Amino acid sequence: MRRRTKHRYLLNIIVQLSIFAGAGIGAFLLRFEFSVPRNYVPHLLVALPVWMAVKSAVYSSFGLHRAWWRFFSLADATRLAAANGFASVVSTLLLAALAPAGFPRSIPVIDFLLCLIASGAVFGAARVMSESAAGGAQDGARRILIYGAGEAGVMLLRETRMNSAVGYSVQGFIDDDPGIRDLTVRGVRVLGSGSELKWIVRRDGIDEVVIAMPSATSGQLVRVLDACSSAGVPFRTLPTLAEVVEGRAQATEVRGVDVKDLLSRQPVRLNQLEIQRKLQDRVVLITGAAGSIGSELARQVARFGPSAIVGFEIAETALFQLEREMQATHPGVRFHPEIGSVQNSRRIADVLKRYRPSVVFHAAAYKHVPMMESQIFEAVENNVLGTYCVALAAREHQVDDFVLISSDKAVRPVSVMGATKRLDEMLVLSMQNHGTRFAAVRFGNVLGSNGSVIPLFKQQIASGGPVTVTDPRMQRYFMTIPEAAQLVLQAAAMGAGGEIFLLDMGQPIKIADLARNLILLSGLRPGVDIKIEFTGARPGERLYEELNFHAEETLPTPHEKIKIFAGGWLPAGDMIAYVRRLRSLCDDRDAPGLVLLLKELIPEYNPSSHLLQQVLADETAGKARAAAVRPLYSVAGR
């Protein structure tokens, strides 16, 4: 490799010196109509070494000696013109002092033009020949159309020509801008719009469509998918701007279209320095570390150089897999897997005492809404009492920052899960002003998280359908897992304690639209290849989610995607009493009493009819059992 680089460098110098000499001689020949008078030969003999020496030095200072002309670009052409202009000025000044009297004033101008034209022509030709050699027809190459004739599409076209291993043969562009129809882009024609894709695919025998629209909106991308689906042609895409900015993909790396592409979310702007000050060289503990949010938090935290990450998790297999991943991807960061339940206060105390974390991210929770409607005691024990155990231990062990991962379902909750998350917020924030900074971060659904509807839809599509949606009006806020984790870190970094942070979830998305788009992403037609059926809302679900109470006051933060809500919480003394009552009711399996206490603590909580019916049935059954047992006690007493 070093030898090839040296040879390329020497070849550049030889070619450039030849151009300098040829341009100088050509300037004299043109000035004197191809017959240089004998008395001007001394001028030529002085000018040639000056031009060659000055231009070589200037070209070197502009980095043109080491340029790879196979990738000659507009930026290189601009640099080439600037170098030639500067070299001409310097050499003209030297010639005024060194050349014999009477040096023709037009010759430096002619030399500049000839040198610029010759350099641009030679280096441009090198790129054209290189692309022609690499872009020849390949046996077995897939015939593709590029959807989008913008910069991304041109970049992809150039990549396919320069890299034969890509295995693509570009047959044309598709673009919905009628103003560029039939235009030619780098020798490739814009064949038409998406509405004409079906017959273009059939006419030209197209194997695949590559979507080169990294900044497309969700609506635009869905229209493209509709066109590809109608044409019956496979499709892939270039990465989004967010993926390129975050370094998770190359700009020309073709991949399958994913449902997250349909969110049209912009890259997250992080205050890297602020987060680094919070996390660098510190021990960070994450509960629920092997879950979808917890594991992504571990990955994101590792980027900021903590001294160690402690993963606290009850699921041993998932924690083992996370440990292996962290060792492979972040070998410089110590990762300590710790098995345990957040309800085990002794185990939590042991872990905190051993590692002395400075920051705790509490992501462990039961999150499945319909299931928790039938598991009210387990929901309260894990989500509320477990959170209290971790928060209390964090305060007692002088943790600097405690961050609760909350949910949009905590807003005017109608489910047990939502009520427990709202109560989590109230409990945690009531512990403020004791040294540890407590904060909660509230956001909606994340795509691909454990319990998400996406895996269910994919499974239903793979089995041939139907895809089941609860209600055509059902809508939810969505964001990607990496975005959620990054904004959690940003909120934690700016927290002073006692805040509920709300992440900007964008616009809500209808679940029916999400199902339809997933069918399109599978290359199938919604309603034709895969049916969509509506089954009715499940226990604890509502048609839409909210992110804040009307009574809460919204406060801005320095980050445009994060706001603060000043929600209410319990006084510290009341909190302890209520926790004891919650624990007692769970121990006694008193469902009616537990629902009444949740309603007392959260006046805006509206229990679902399913839960109320279940509680009533349990209470009736309990009374019946008591009535049946009472005569037996009477007989035993006699």
Question: What pLDDT, on the 0 to 100 scale, is given for residue 541?
Answer: 65
Q: Give just the sign of the alpha carbon dihedral 600, 601, 605, 608.
A: negative
Largest CA distance in the chain: 145
pTM of the model: 0.66
**Residue 549 banded pLDDT, cuts 50, 70, 90:** very low
3-state secondary structure 150-190: CHHHHHHHHHHHHCHHHCEEEEEEECCCHHHCCCEECCEEE
442: CB partners within 8 A, 6+ apart: 406, 407, 408, 410, 411, 425, 500, 501, 502, 503, 547, 565
Q: What are phi and psi of 279, to 5 degrees?
A: -110, -25
Percent of the chain with pLDDT over 70: 80
CA separation for the pair 337, 320 (Å, rounded): 8
Do residues 66 and 12 lie in contact, with contact meaning Cβ atoms separated by under 8 Å? yes
Domain 142-257 falls in which CATH fold?
Answer: Rossmann fold (3.40.50)
Both tokens assigned to 342: 């957040």
**Residue 533 banded pLDDT, cuts 50, 70, 90:** confident
Cα-based angle 125, 131, 133 (whole degrees, multiple of 5): 100
Mean confidence (pLDDT) of the chain? 81
- pLDDT tens-digit series, residues 260-301: 666 655 556 677 788 888 899 999 999 999 988 899 999 999
**Residue 204 banded pLDDT, cuts 50, 70, 90:** confident
pLDDT at 496 over 50: yes
With CA atoms as reference, report the closest residue to 567 among 501, 622, 507, 512: 501
- pLDDT tens-digit series, residues 8-62: 667 778 888 888 889 888 889 898 888 888 888 888 899 989 988 998 888 888 8
pLDDT at 252 over 50: no
CA separation for the pair 486, 495 (Å, rounded): 14
Both tokens assigned to 143: 């015939």
Question: What pLDDT, on the 0 to 100 scale, is given for residue 358?
Answer: 94
Question: What pLDDT, on the 0 to 100 scale, is given for residue 452?
Answer: 65
465 forms bridges with which residues in the sheet?
Answer: none
CATH class, 272-446+479-505+546-569 region: alpha beta
38: CB partners within 8 A, 6+ apart: none
